[in-house]
Amino acid sequence: MQKVIQVNNQKLKQMAHYYSQFSSKKVPTGALFSINSGSATVTGYYSGKVMFQGKTASAEAAKWQSNSIHSLDTPKKMGTTLPADFANWSVLGSDEVGAGAYFGPLTTAAVYVSQENLEWVRALGIADSKTLTDDRMKKIAPQIIAKLPHHVVNLMPEKYNQLQPLHNVNQMKAISHNFALGKVLDKIFPITPQAILIDQFAQQSTYFNYLKNAKQQRIIHENVYFTTKGEQYHLSVAAASILARVVELDAMSKLSVEAGIKLPIGAGREVDTVAAELLRRGIDLKHYAKLHFANTKKAERLL
């Protein structure tokens, strides 16, 4: 039996994280992950197509269909319907990367793009930032840093592991987004953005609930909008996405040098093998990896 659904980029990342607990199969070309749960094979492609095969394919797909791109997770239903001409507003946007990767940090960036700078940013060619190569983003990021007000929260693995027993990953995301947004607001004061746009990873009410216990942080809540695929709705989120990705890549490069082995991004079988090798060398994984991932136990079994 086979079942195929279409999901957006954020849901695809959530699925990759969820299925990291299962044994991985060889990942086909164009796929982010491929696993065997015992009763079904699940393969998620970067295009957003997710294929379920096996005797429980329909039941496994049903777990996600209510949250697929065609239902709850579209901007109009999960997020806020954005005002007309929003793309031309002065907006402070934020996005994060690394939540679904075993090695490396959880990195969140916020970038302010005023109306005056929209054409300059548009000329960078980042309107669909998710399609850019890492090399291209590495060339664009320094220009963003030099030109636009921004802030990055780079939660490295050791700090992440300290916080994780008390905060789930979405709460850490919320706190990081809120902190980065606050820092940029301080930098541009007394200018006030027409809006703030957060690349959505949780319902709006849930996001603000996560912030209730954020100590010593003011909660940014005025003119805040949420939508999935935020980079498609305003260039500020596209710029934030690029900046977060490049900072993550830089951190991964430095961690790889420290570990003496290239640390792969993701949560697949290659990650398990590298983690097992680090354990074999007597290296403490907490400096390099998010320990609560299923990859830790998989690496221990491999060792």
Residue ranges of the annotated binding site for a divalent metal cation are 95-96, 199
Report residue 49 as tokens. 């197509």
Q: Which two tokens stand for residue 201?
A: 């990873």
Give dist(CA 298, CA 302) in Å, integer: 6
Q: Judge whether 297 and 290 are in contact, CB under 8 Å.
A: no
User: Rounded distance, CA 261 to CA 249, Å?
Assistant: 15
- Residue whose entry in the numeric block shows the structure tokens 């164009």: 30
Q: Which residues are annotated as a binding site?
A: 95-96, 199
Helix axis angle for 134-147 and 235-259, nearest 10°, is: 120
CA distance 140 to 125: 9
163: tokens are 């916080």
Task: Provide the edge-to-edge strand list for the sheet that holds 195-199.
Answer: 150-155, 106-113, 91-97, 195-199, 224-227
- Label residue 66 exposed, middle or buried (CB < 10 Å: 0-12, 13-18, 19+): exposed
Task: Report in angstroms the alpha-carbon separations of 187 from 72, 112, 149, 150.
Answer: 36, 10, 7, 8
Residue with tokens 């970038």: 111
Which of 172, 170, 204, 233 has its CA nearest to residue 8? 233
